[in-house]
Amino acid sequence: MDVEVIRIRPAVLRQIEAHARAASPAECCGLLIARRGRIEEAIEVQNRAADPLRRYEIDPRDYLQALKRCRGTDALVLGAYHSHPRSAPEPSPRDLEQAFHDFLYLIAGPAGPSELLAIRAYRLAEGNFRAVALVPDPEEPQA
């Protein structure tokens, strides 16, 4: 089986890492905006989960606002990201329960101040998460 590859601006990876570290010990979350097959932007949103230390929840209004922002442009809401402050950046059973088909999920973890943080990508396919390769792409977009 071929592994899907997604390009991402290095600045977006740095932003997600900074957000994860700043939110720790709570989980952070946000939305991913892509143009021409590359993740160009991360939109930080407030984690509205009742227990943000153990889960995340994105307000549907934040999602709708991102969709409206992309309307009429070549941008699209490709997926979401969140952190696992105390565990590996691998999907949890709760992540699987809440996942949408074809949405891209980036998970950052662990996020302690001195821990090495990793960011991994996944997509839901046939009821399970499939790893997606993230490739940092510093190229400037062509007008």
pLDDT in tens, 93-114: 999 988 887 899 999 998 666 6
Judged against a pLDDT cut of 80, whether residue 141 lies above it is answered with no
135-140, long-range: CB < 8 A, 24+ apart: 135/5, 135/6, 135/7, 135/8, 136/7, 136/8, 136/9, 136/10, 136/13, 137/7, 137/8, 137/9, 137/10, 137/38, 138/9, 138/10
56 or 114, greater pLDDT? 56
**Domain regions of the chain by residue span:** 5-136
Q: Percentage of the chain surpassing pLDDT 70?
A: 93
Residue 52 pLDDT: 94
The pTM of this model reads 0.92
The pLDDT confidence band at residue 10, using thresholds 50, 70 and 90, is very high
Fold designation for 5-136: Cytidine Deaminase; domain 2 (3.40.140)
